[in-house]
Structure 1
Amino acid sequence: MIKNVKWFFVVLVFSSLISFSSTKKSVPTEKLALGDKAPELVLCNEMQPLNLQDASGNYTLLSFWASYDASSRAQNAALSHLLKNQDQVKMISISFDRYRSVFNAAVRQDQIDTASCHLEMEGENSKIFKSYGLESGFRNFLLNSEGVIVAKNVTASELASYLN
């Protein structure tokens, strides 16, 4: 009986070691780093790319969000309200909602400027989603006048202190 129990534990330890050694650890990587040029933005329902460069020398804030992601939606609304009367930063807000009705309701409820808000209905399958590395969550990017990333995941309070 004791011999059988010993072999059982030997087999259990051996199989555990094999399973631990064969599992791959996923190392989170950032697709875009500070100093990188922001990828071009072409939405599924628009023919022309959105201009990420600003000839007047101002900044552009790209905010990616969806109504089903409460934190990204709240962050987008806070940034939009902060930049409502600012000339230093142009905001481009991109939602990944699947339905225009849901998108329109969120924009109306959050009182977001519709001129700066766009809808990408292809969601996770879109080129934008993949090129900006949004698989690990929605975020925002602050770009300089040449379209180069100078900050990521900026909060409304950080942006307010930056503007002052």
Structure 2
Amino acid sequence: MLKNVKWFFVVLVFSSLISLSFDKRNTPTEKLPVGAQAPELVLGNEKQPLSLQASKGNYILLSLWASYDAASRTSNARLHHVVSDDARVEMISISFDRYPSVFRTAVKQDGINDNVYQEMEGENSEIFKSYDLKHGFINCLVDDRGVIVAKNVSPSELASLLHTAKG
């Protein structure tokens, strides 16, 4: 009798695990997949949105980062140096640092001087919410129609994408 109960329990656990693997509610959905329209960028302290419209055939590289997140800060700095040599890409860099002194120090140390903004509202900002940054900071390559064509690109991937687009 005890042997039958053990097998019943094993079958019950196994079937539960299988049914959970097919449950669609557990499948994470990406809020902004490649091919989606990039949400508008309005900084908390600004009234006018930042434009994500590149000139014909060009791109905007949007980098969302913070100095307290070493990976996003490093990526932002490295991407900035790749993009600074390519006229087809304009980079918009938005930091979610709450303190201006921390933001200014990071920008100076990283050598970033063009199109860099601070979103002082941090996690409460509309940009943070619309780009679904609760799981980490991202970068997006946006085409001249405002469509996301690549996400979380490394400097080498960006160089490859731009080389492919050129040819």
TM-score range, shorter chain: 0.7 to 0.9
Per the alignment, residue 7 of structure 1 pairs with none
User: What's the CA shift string for 1:8-42, capped at 9, x where partnerless?
Assistant: xxxxx9xxx9xx99xxx864331101111111000
Task: Give the unaligned 5+ runs of structure 2.
Answer: 1-8, 18-24
Per the alignment, residue 22 of structure 2 pairs with none
User: What's the CA shift string for 1:93-134, capped at 9, x where partnerless?
Assistant: 000001010000000001012x31000000000000000011
Aligned pairs, number? 145
Q: Quick one: which amino acid aligns to residue 43 of structure 1? A: L
Alpha-carbon distance between aligned partners in 2 of 1:42 and 1:55, rounded to the nearest angstrom: 20
In the alignment, does 2:35 pair up with 1:35?
A: yes
In the alignment, does 2:141 pair up with 1:135?
A: no
Q: Secondary structure at the match of 1:142?
A: strand
User: What's the CA shift string for 1:15-73, capped at 9, x where partnerless?
Assistant: xx9xx99xxx8643311011111110000121110010123320001100000000000
Alpha-carbon distance between aligned partners in 1 of 2:108 and 2:26, rounded to the nearest angstrom: 39
Per the alignment, residue 110 of structure 1 pairs with 110
Q: Secondary structure at the match of 1:54?
A: coil
Per the alignment, residue 119 of structure 2 pairs with 120
Alpha-carbon distance between aligned partners in 1 of 2:28 and 2:134, rounded to the nearest angstrom: 10
Q: Secondary structure at the match of 1:160?
A: helix
Per the alignment, residue 80 of structure 2 pairs with 80
Per the alignment, residue 95 of structure 2 pairs with 95
Alpha-carbon distance between aligned partners in 2 of 1:40 and 1:102, rounded to the nearest angstrom: 26
Q: Quick one: which amino acid aligns to residue 63 of structure 1? A: S
Per the alignment, residue 161 of structure 1 pairs with 160
Q: Quick one: which amino acid aligns to residue 74 of structure 1? A: T
Task: Give the unaligned 5+ runs of structure 1.
Answer: 1-12
**Quick one: percent identity of the two aligned structures?**
60
Alpha-carbon distance between aligned partners in 2 of 1:28 and 1:111, rounded to the nearest angstrom: 37
TM-score, length basis structure 1: 0.82
TM-score, length basis structure 2: 0.80
Alpha-carbon distance between aligned partners in 2 of 1:76 and 1:124, rounded to the nearest angstrom: 19
